[in-house]
Structure 1
């Protein structure tokens, strides 16, 4: 919770798998109308598959600048896999491909995958169309499920391949058949694209993006979220996430930022754990900070009431600020710890959270602010009609530009572990804060970046009409 007894310069901040329904042919008496109704589930599933593939495509474009052609080549797919997994070749070992020179734009990616056993041949055929089955062979190894595949006895392989209209005899080896069977069973290929897995068929952009997306999921490198705002279980998941989070302790970082607090360099900071980062697509995402679980639950309900759909990730956060001795003797609790300073004041460490939202569309992201300002921002002591725990200065921000948001800067310190400290500031104060951090510890790893924050919080930083 932010204190309002003074005006600071800085402050703390912040697969899809749809089964096709089997339909019984409509009796002729019902005609075209009944047939259309019978085919509706299939059409709906196909639309959902296309939406999922598009989501993977957006992720690859924004995160890695990867865009596949409508009929990808082997080189494109190999390059996309390597770049999305951040694989680089070991330059201590040279890979000699029979048909790919070291000057090829695909060489580094191919070498990286070959060194990891994802490519098993020195013939790459980078300019040739990617076949659907070749794409799956690569994805199985990149996803790390080869042991699963090779555990399949032949009868199990045959059973798993049956829905694909494939048989063990279609493959040059049992291991190849095992890989396709395991890919299907492990969910690397969604049911709606089973028909793409045909002998001699080229891979579509849709299949290639889906395979890469599922590879990233298997490696824990895709999006992280506890659910959708519309999920029936979202409130239980949010409650569990809050109740199992604790005040973060990161002594190496705290030594620096606590010294900065004592010196008045900053007036607050956050501690966060990078293992909970959402990894959402920036253009569709916002992060919202608060301390009250009831507020979070009602905020999700508010979004649902407005028809705003979003993925939801809970990110534990500890917020720190100076508790002045004139405020009275602090009382520690399960959600607030205190550290006494030499001058008699205390550093308060409060359990808070950020909720990262990835909206279904840019339009839904734009709708978020008007909803918050109407239902979750306090404008006077007697304001009514707000959700529980509404603040004078709600804190939410975007890493991409939005109308009616203001630019501030995050001053972020990292250490060797998963934790990091950050302090938000007006952008013209950032250089001084960074210099102060480095004066406290010359070896500090500090980075800065600008982002867009709601105007009430920006006004809080400036001291202009901070309510």
Structure 2
């Protein structure tokens, strides 16, 4: 185990053996001759749909294939709505969805349900005939009052196009009266989670120009996290030396990224984060970026001198004269475009963000002796450790440990509260941080 004095020399995150927090029908077809949609638009739509498909399967366990029936879509939509607290039972689009009976299940019918589930019903009702015709014209759908489409159906289609529930190109190719494919069903379900705030949650991408300002703003808006009774429990564990520290996070910032494509990187310096994103961009690597506020807590020994407090670093003195220190930090989660892109991350960190000597040059500002980044899926040259996790509502405490020390960490928490629920799982971490857990300073 690393000594207490050296704990202060490391960053608050890398300075603790315990804790980091991680922790959505009638229809009138257009002209009989279908004009192919632009190839780029269809490729982009296919890529987005694949993301929705993966997300819905991973997060909700919904499996669809081939042509989707009304019963299958209603069941899937109901499962989503049950997990989205903003959708009440009386507003649930899936409720009464099977009333159409044996009639063919069409894209138009699915859109009607999705418009309601995505809370766009009132917006659709504001659409004038002029706005409806302007939107439907993009999909080459003819609309006249008294025709094949009711006024409400037409408004729903129009708002679906304008808000991106379905693109005009997709609707033109598939037709309002067409069957619902699994890919399109996944897209609709994904849009429902997106509109309700239950889809992927991120600031932007490495490649976009505004990402640096967004990152800075997120940092300045974050503050030291407090978590009531959960924090009282882990603070008591600190006082009794059952753990050496912990990290605290707010699950509201969970990015919900694909674990197979994601690496999470922890640090405490804003400029380091900005430079890291600049480094990835300069190397031609793009990724979604989520900023996750994090607070690290550890014991500050009284012999280290009077601690200097700021808005980002606070201490509370405990009975033996020592202090519990709370430091504002962050995790950056990156979802890469592919596993190969994900694999490119570590070589860059080891070359440009890993301190190997006091006078090292050519490194990002604030580089650590033991950078901390991890993956929920296996990567070559990444050792396996254990996360010991406690939850209370939206707050999460995590304690990282060597695999053979996990039982001891769990026992420490159980000693304080025999009823506390602790989730443990193994994951992959960088070698320098693993070395730190072994007690190595460099």
Q: Do they fold alike, i.e. is TM over 0.5?
A: yes
- Determine the C-alpha separation between the residues in 2 that align with 1:449 and 1:336: 30
- Determine the C-alpha separation between the residues in 2 that align with 1:43 and 1:397: 37
Q: Which has the higher contact order (CA 8 A, sep 6+)?
A: 2
Tell me the alpha carbon deviations over residues 287-314 of structure 1, each in whole angstroms, 9 at most, x when there is no partner: 1100000100011011112211110000
- Determine the C-alpha separation between the residues in 2 that align with 1:86 and 1:370: 43
User: Which among 414, 417, 424 is matched to residue 438 of structure 1?
Assistant: 414
- Determine the C-alpha separation between the residues in 2 that align with 1:441 and 1:11: 18
Secondary structure, aligned partner of 1:370: helix
User: Which among 30, 38, 44 is matched to residue 40 of structure 2?
Assistant: 44
Tell me the alpha carbon deviations over residues 121-144 of structure 1, each in whole angstroms, 9 at most, x when there is no partner: 544658x86422122112112212
Equivalent residue for 1:143?
118
- Determine the C-alpha separation between the residues in 1 that align with 2:100 and 2:110: 13
Contact 1:247 1:351 in 2 (8 A): yes
Residues 1:283 and 2:260 are matched in the alignment: yes
Shift of 1:178: 2.0
Shift of 1:277: 0.7
Shift of 1:380: 1.7
Shift of 1:86: 4.5
Shift of 1:401: 1.5
Distance 1:84-1:367 versus aligned 2 partners, 3 A rule: farther
Shift of 1:219: 1.0
User: Which among 8, 11, 17 is matched to residue 10 of structure 1?
Assistant: 17
Residues 1:133 and 2:138 are matched in the alignment: no
Equivalent residue for 2:53?
57
Contact 2:93 2:114 in 1 (8 A): no
Distance 1:203-1:435 versus aligned 2 partners, 3 A rule: same
Equivalent residue for 1:424?
400
How many aligned residue pairs are there? Answer: 416
Tell me the alpha carbon deviations over residues 32-86 of structure 1, each in whole angstroms, 9 at most, x when there is no partner: xxxxxxx9x9322222121111111222232233343243232332333333444
Per the normalisation by structure 1, the TM-score is 0.82
Equivalent residue for 1:80?
76
Equivalent residue for 1:26?
none
Tell me the alpha carbon deviations over residues 362-419 of structure 1, each in whole angstroms, 9 at most, x when there is no partner: 1111111111111111112222211111101111111111111122222222224x22
Shift of 1:259: 1.0
Distance 1:65-1:122 versus aligned 2 partners, 3 A rule: closer
Equivalent residue for 1:233?
210
Distance 1:151-1:374 versus aligned 2 partners, 3 A rule: same
Unpaired stretches in structure 2, ≥5 consecutive residues: 1-5, 22-35
Equivalent residue for 2:377?
400
Per the normalisation by structure 2, the TM-score is 0.87
Equivalent residue for 1:350?
327
Superposition RMSD in Å: 2.7
Shift of 1:421: 1.7
User: Which among 124, 132, 137 is matched to residue 162 of structure 1?
Assistant: 137
